[in-house]
Amino acid sequence: MTYGKLIRISLLTTLIILALFIFFISGNHGWIESNYSTVFYPKLASALRILFGWFPFSFGDLIYTSVGIAVAWQIGKFIVRFFHKTDSWKKKLNPLLTAGIILLCVYVYFYLFWGLNYYRQGIEFQLGLEKDKFEKQQLIDLTDYLLQKANSTKTICLQKNDTVMSRERMFQSSLQGYQTLQQQFDFISYKNPSMKPSMFGTIGNYVGFLGYYNPFTGEGQVNTKIPLFMQPYVTCHEMAHQVGYASESEANFVGFLAASHSNDTLLQYSTYLDMFIYSWNNLAAVDTTVAGTFRDKINDGVKRDLKTYFHFLRSHRTFVSRWMNVLYDYYLRQNRQIKGIESYGEVTAWAIAYRKKFGRL
C-alpha cells in the first residue's frame, strides 16, 4: 500500500467516524445545549472571527468558491474518463471518490464547527418561552405594535434626514445592540465582530439570499446589493447565527431583540419594518380582511419602502431562485425546521411569547 493511499484511507475512516458521531449526538439536545452551544462553540466561533476577521474581504467566500471548483473539477474528470474505453473502472471512479471525500470533509466541518447548533434547545429553553400556541388577537396586537414602531422610527429618520446607513455604521450599530442586549441576557454574548459584504451580492439577488453565515471562517456575510433599508436587520440576523442560533426563526428573533436594543433609529426602523412584514403576512394567512385594514395605517415613508421591497423581490424572481428555494427548504427541513423556508416567519410566535412572558417587546 502506497503512502498516499494510506493517508486517503485514514482520512476517509476518520471522516466516517466523525460523521457517525454527529449523527448519534444530534439527538441529545440537552448535551448539545450545555456542552457544545454554550461552552465549545462560543470559544471556537470567537477564535475564528479573530483569525479571519481582519481580512478586508470575505475569506469564507474564497473557500466556498474553491470547494465548488474542486468538486466540479473532479466530476468533470469522471465524465471525461467515463468515455475513455482504455481506463479501468477504478480509474474512472477515482474522481468521484475524491469528490465524495471533499463533500464529506465539508459535512463534518460544517456540523462540528456550527451545524450542531440546529439541535440545541435554544432561545425557547434559555428564556423559558412557550411559542406553540397563540390567539389571533395576539397576532393582531403584535402587527399593530410593529407597524406603529415602523411608522414612528421612519418619521424620525425622515425628520433627521437620516435614511442612508454606511456599512461601518451598520456593523457598529448592530454590535452595540448586541452589547446592550447582553446586559439583560448574558448568554447572548457577541465579541470580536466579523461582518463583511458578500462577494456574491448580485448573484445572490437572483439566487435568493440576503445574507449567510460561513462556518469555515466564522464570518457573517451581508448581501449589500439589496435595498439599503433591509441590510441592517439582515446584519443582526447573521450576527445571531454567529452567536450560535442556527434556527432561522431564532436568528430572526435574537436579531430583532439586539436591533431593538440599539440606539440607532435607522437600525430600529429596518428591524421593525421587517418584523411587521412577517407579522402582517402571518395575519393575512389567518384573516385577510383584518390584515387589509392595516394598509390605511401605513405612513407614506413606509409605503415607499414596502413598494421598493416588493418590486425588488418581483424583479429578481427567476427559475434559479425558485429551485434554490426548493433546495433550501429541503435543507431546513432536514435540520429540525419542519416548516422549511416558512420557518423564517415563525419569529412572530417568538415575539408573541416574549410579550406574554415579559409584558413588553
pLDDT per residue over 285-297, tens digit each? Answer: 888 999 999 999 9
| Stretch 169-189: mean pLDDT | 94
- pLDDT of 322 > 90? The answer is no
Residue that the C-alpha cell 424620525 belongs to: 156
- Residue 265 CB: number of other CB atoms within 10 A? 18
Same structural domain for residues 78 and 150? no
Same structural domain for residues 76 and 150? no
| Stretch 247-268: mean pLDDT | 93
Is residue 92 within 8 A of residue 77, CB to CB? The reply is no
* CB contact burial 15-27 (16+ within 10 A = b; e otherwise): beebeeebeebbe
> Which of 160-164, 172-176, 301-305 has the least mean pLDDT?
160-164
Specify the 3-state DSSP secondary structure of 196.
Answer: strand
| Stretch 163-183: mean pLDDT | 93
Between 347-358 and 265-286, two packed helices, what is the crossing angle to 10 degrees? 110
Is residue 220 within 8 A of residue 248, CB to CB? The reply is no
Same structural domain for residues 184 and 239? yes
Q: Distance between CA 17 and CA 162 in Å, rounded?
A: 54
Q: How many domains does the chain have?
A: 2
Between 300-315 and 265-286, two packed helices, what is the crossing angle to 10 degrees? 70
Specify the 3-state DSSP secondary structure of 324.
Answer: helix
Bridge-based pairing state of the strands 195-197 and 219-222 = parallel
- pLDDT tens digits along 76-132: 888 888 777 777 777 778 888 888 889 999 999 999 999 999 999 989 899 998 877
Please say which residue of 119, 149, 170 terminates a domain. Answer: 119
Residue 213, beta-bridge partner list: 220
| Stretch 6-15: mean pLDDT | 83
Cα dist. 252→37, 105, 166, 246 in Å? 18, 29, 22, 10
Percent of the chain residues past pLDDT 70, beyond the cut? 91
Please say which residue of 119, 149, 167 terminates a domain. Answer: 119
Write down the pLDDT at residue 213.
Answer: 92
Write down the pLDDT at residue 142.
Answer: 94
Which of 6-15, 265-274, 307-316 is modeled with the greatest confidence? 265-274
Write down the pLDDT at residue 340.
Answer: 47
Write down the pLDDT at residue 325.
Answer: 61
Same structural domain for residues 91 and 225? no
Q: Tell me which residue range forms the domain holding 189.
A: 125-358
Same structural domain for residues 328 and 285? yes
- pLDDT of 323 > 80? The answer is no
Same structural domain for residues 254 and 301? yes
- pLDDT tens digits along 26-44: 889 999 999 999 999 999 9
Cell of 222: 451581508
Q: Distance between CA 112 and CA 98 in Å, rounded?
A: 21
Tell me the one-letter amino acid at 297: K
Same structural domain for residues 76 and 103? yes
- CA of residue 266 relative to chain centroid, distance: 21
Same structural domain for residues 135 and 89? no
Same structural domain for residues 37 and 181? no
Is residue 240 within 8 A of residue 251, CB to CB? The reply is yes
- pLDDT of 169 > 80? The answer is yes
Residue 220, beta-bridge partner list: 195, 213
Specify the 3-state DSSP secondary structure of 208.
Answer: coil
Write down the pLDDT at residue 182.
Answer: 94
For 216, phi and psi rounded to 5 degrees?
Answer: -65, -35
Four-point Cα dihedral 126, 130, 131, 136, nearest 10: -150
70 by Cβ neighbours in 10 Å (0-12 / 13-18 / 19+) ranks as middle
Specify the 3-state DSSP secondary structure of 86.
Answer: coil
Q: Distance between CA 145 and CA 294 in Å, rounded?
A: 11
> Would you place residue 204 in the very low, low, confident or very high pLDDT band (cuts 50, 70, 90)?
confident
Write down the pLDDT at residue 153.
Answer: 96
Please say which residue of 119, 152, 169 terminates a domain. Answer: 119
Cell of 113: 464547527
- CA of residue 358 relative to chain centroid, distance: 26
